[in-house]
Amino acid sequence: MKAFISSDQSSKLHIVVKDTGKGISAKDQGHIFEQYYMTDQKSKHSFGLGLHISKLMTEQLNVTLSVRSQQGKESIFTLVVPLTEEIKYMKQITSLDKLSKNLRFVVVDDNPINNLFVKQALLHFYDVKIFEDSSTAIAYLEKNNADIIITDLKMFGPTGWDILNTVKDSNLKQEWNSKVIALTSDESQVTVQIPEGQLHQFDGVMTKPLDKAILAQLIAKIL
């Protein structure tokens, strides 16, 4: 299987699945998406519904499903997905340098080495504040707006969840629109280990070490 985005103006995602089976005859290729159609009428393991249902679903989603095959050799199924304007924009943003220099960042992590690494990645931006003490960060975020907050989860004192709740509460009180990204070594801390009663969710999640290209695309998506 392979996937790629076309380079022409249409910007479509192509997902190609290739097998090494016995192939499909030209006659059968014209019918395999029909309900109950089977190339092997003696098969006890098929009802002729799988490809038909797949075709119906792709049509509902404005997606194209097609097949090419050589009998006795292989079959290639291709799914073509038109990209939304949002995804097209994200595709263009592959570097932090393409984002506005005026974005305001707050970084919270009690590990100074991690902070140095993130600070180096954000050199393009004018306003980047680094906090090793999460209590100090919370006091700052209660009174000051920022565009992007990048926070670790497990820290001495208040956790990344406390940072998230502070920012989202300030958003409601002050009519701000700050976004919070969790930067963690274990993504399950965000997707599985959610504190009981937690109402707010992170706007994005990244795993350490920070990848600048992924961060750029994530920021382009959430802003």
Residues 6+ apart with CB under 8 A from 102: 125, 126, 127
pLDDT (0 to 100) of residue 12 = 79
| Residue-range domain boundaries for the chain | 2-83, 88-222
> Rounded to 5 degrees, what angle do the CA atoms 79, 81, 82 make?
150
What pTM did the predictor assign? 0.62
More confident residue, 170 or 71: 170
* Residue 115: pLDDT over 90: yes
Whole-angstrom distance, CA of residue 156 vs CA of residue 139: 15
The pLDDT, as a whole number, for residue 86 is 54
Angstrom distance (rounded) from CA 214 to CA 223: 14
Q: How many CB atoms lie within 10 A of CB 196?
A: 4
> In the chain, which residue ranges form alpha helices assigned H by DSSP?
26-29, 50-60, 85-92, 112-121, 134-141, 160-174, 188-191, 212-222
**pLDDT surpasses 70 at 179:** yes
What confidence tens digit (pLDDT) does each residue in 80-95 have?
Answer: 887 765 555 555 666 8
Q: Is residue 19 very low, low, confident or very high in pLDDT (cuts 50, 70, 90)?
A: confident
pLDDT value, residue 14: 86
Average pLDDT of 193-204? 88
Best CATH choice for the domain 88-222 from the list 3.40.1280.10, 3.30.1490.20, 3.40.50.2300, 3.40.1670.10: 3.40.50.2300
Q: For domain 2-83, give its CATH number from 3.30.565.10, 3.40.50.150, 3.30.230.10, 3.40.470.10.
A: 3.30.565.10
> Residue 215: which of 120, 142, 82 has the closest Cα?
120
